[in-house]
Amino acid sequence: MTDSIMAFVNYLRKEELTEDVDFLREATEFLCQQLIDAEAEEVIGAERYERTSDRQTYRNGTRERRLETRVGELDLKIPKLRKGSYLPSLLAPRKRSEEALLAVVQEAYIQGVSTRRMDEIAKALGLQGIDKSKVSRICKELDEMVREFRERPLQDKYPYIWLDAVVLNVRENHRVVKLSLGIAIGVDSQGERHILGFDLGAGESKAFWLDFLRSLKQRGLKETMLVISDAHSGLKAAIGQAFSGSAWQRCSVHFMRNVLAQVSHKDKKQVAEAIKLVFEQPDQRTSKAYLEHLAKLMQSRWSKVAQMLLEAEEDILAYKTFPKKHHRSIHSVNPLERINREIRRRTRVVGVFPNRESVFRLVGTLLMDMDEDWRGSRRYMAEKGIQKLLTPDPQEDTRQDFNLVNELLELEAQNVIYTT
């Protein structure tokens, strides 16, 4: 130990005693390394190349270890032993400090703080700062948790599934490209919501969506009664192929936006109010009757809208064949909109993701938190209603007999739609 102290004194004599931070870091690094080597000699029972009866084992090289301190990051060499293991007592508190720093960095990353701003966070903790590459290395510990979440087994029955995508900027092959993050959520047989899965690819591509949906089925999903999504051609084709036998509901909100894009600004309110009456009807039969009547009234003035209504009749009213208590949730992809807004808020500060792995890390952790929050809240849909949906009574007929002629005449009398 005396030799180590003398070596440290000689080291100080060779250096200029200035206020240079690099000098303080190097001096601290040298002292820590000497303490580690001295402690290792006690564990081994002998100094380097010393022959003694007290020797317990031999050195077997070193491993690199970094230590965060107030004067900077120290690069230390930890001796490896041929028999047993050795961890310097100097580094024992480091585990706790590392865990605290890791928790802060991970939480900041999840909350959407850009990696460039992590340096300021580190300085606030009394450290010299953390560069971008170091933050990325720290956050990679999240990758394993996200991977397990993405690959976890699913239940076999999810009566309702919602699909949508968020466009993100990702750097690939030294250029920035726009990729779609496809997300699927579902309601299980107990009426609880779940994040079923997510993947990154070309959002308009049938191949991407088909691979994504097949991955859900490979993880255990077998039975789905209704799939709700927008009407992108690739997504629609993939749903028809992957979920053959399931009904498809076109998002009524997106459909309304597409329709209103075909009329002038002064007519938007009038057309929107008329179309809303279609969705407000108590069952599919009356909704179809209203839709067809509105299409006839609109033919002379808004022929494009009339054509769109007739073409989308089956798709936008598919949800009407399911329990009325569920209509508010299954007529559109609105249950996914809140998730999409939160993802956009968290990813906006990042701007351009350096790679796909960083997207999965950030968004995956966010979706894991949401899924856990759903577990702690009340059921999204009543379990009794879901069970009744899965095992319907064949003798029960919930349709009501409405006087469609009188209803349609009343609609015209209220001048909801003007034919001139």
CA end-to-end distance (rounded Å), the chain: 102
Task: Indicate if 283 and 409 belong to the same structural domain.
Answer: yes
- Assign 416 to helix, strand or coil: coil
Q: What CA–CA distances, in Å, run from 387 to 14, 228, 335, 383, 390? A: 81, 20, 21, 6, 5
Task: Indicate if 273 and 418 belong to the same structural domain.
Answer: yes
Give pLDDT tens digits for 3-17: 555 555 555 555 444
Domain assignment present for 342: yes
Q: Are 190 and 383 in contact (CB under 8 A)?
A: yes
Domain assignment present for 96: no
Task: Indicate if 32 and 180 belong to the same structural domain.
Answer: no
Share of the chain above pLDDT 90, in %: 33
Query: According to DSSP H, which parts of 377-414 are helical?
Result: 383-390, 404-413
Domain assignment present for 412: yes
Examine the fold and report which residue of 53, 87, 121 is the final residue of a domain before the chain moves on. Answer: 87
Task: Indicate if 344 and 225 belong to the same structural domain.
Answer: yes
Task: Indicate if 314 and 341 belong to the same structural domain.
Answer: no
- The domain that holds 214 is classified in CATH as 3.30.420.10
Task: Report the pLDDT averaged over residues 222-249.
Answer: 92
Task: Indicate if 44 and 183 belong to the same structural domain.
Answer: no
Task: Indicate if 295 and 348 belong to the same structural domain.
Answer: no
Whether the pLDDT of residue 28 is over 60: the answer is yes
The DSSP string of 45-98 is TS-TT---TT----EEEEEEEEEEETTEEEEEEEEEESSS----GGGHHHHHHH
Domain of residue 17, residue span: 1-87
Domain assignment present for 37: yes
Task: Indicate if 276 and 415 belong to the same structural domain.
Answer: yes
Task: Indicate if 315 and 408 belong to the same structural domain.
Answer: yes
Task: Indicate if 202 and 67 belong to the same structural domain.
Answer: no
Task: Report the pLDDT averaged over residues 57-78.
Answer: 78
Q: Which residues pair with 79 in a beta bridge?
A: 62
Q: Which of 35-49, 70-84, 106-120, 406-420 has the lowest mean pLDDT?
A: 406-420
Domain assignment present for 98: no
Domain assignment present for 149: no
Task: Indicate if 281 and 322 belong to the same structural domain.
Answer: yes
pTM of the complete model: 0.68
Mean pLDDT of the chain: 79
Domain assignment present for 341: yes
CA dihedral 332, 338, 340, 346 (to 10 degrees): 180
Task: Indicate if 411 and 320 belong to the same structural domain.
Answer: yes
Q: How confident is the model at residue 402 (pLDDT cuts 50, 70, 90)?
A: very low
Domain assignment present for 139: no
Q: How confident is the model at residue 18 (pLDDT cuts 50, 70, 90)?
A: very low
Q: Which of 58-62, 282-286, 346-350, 405-409 has the lowest mean pLDDT?
A: 405-409
Domain count, the chain: 3
Q: How many residues does the chain have?
A: 420
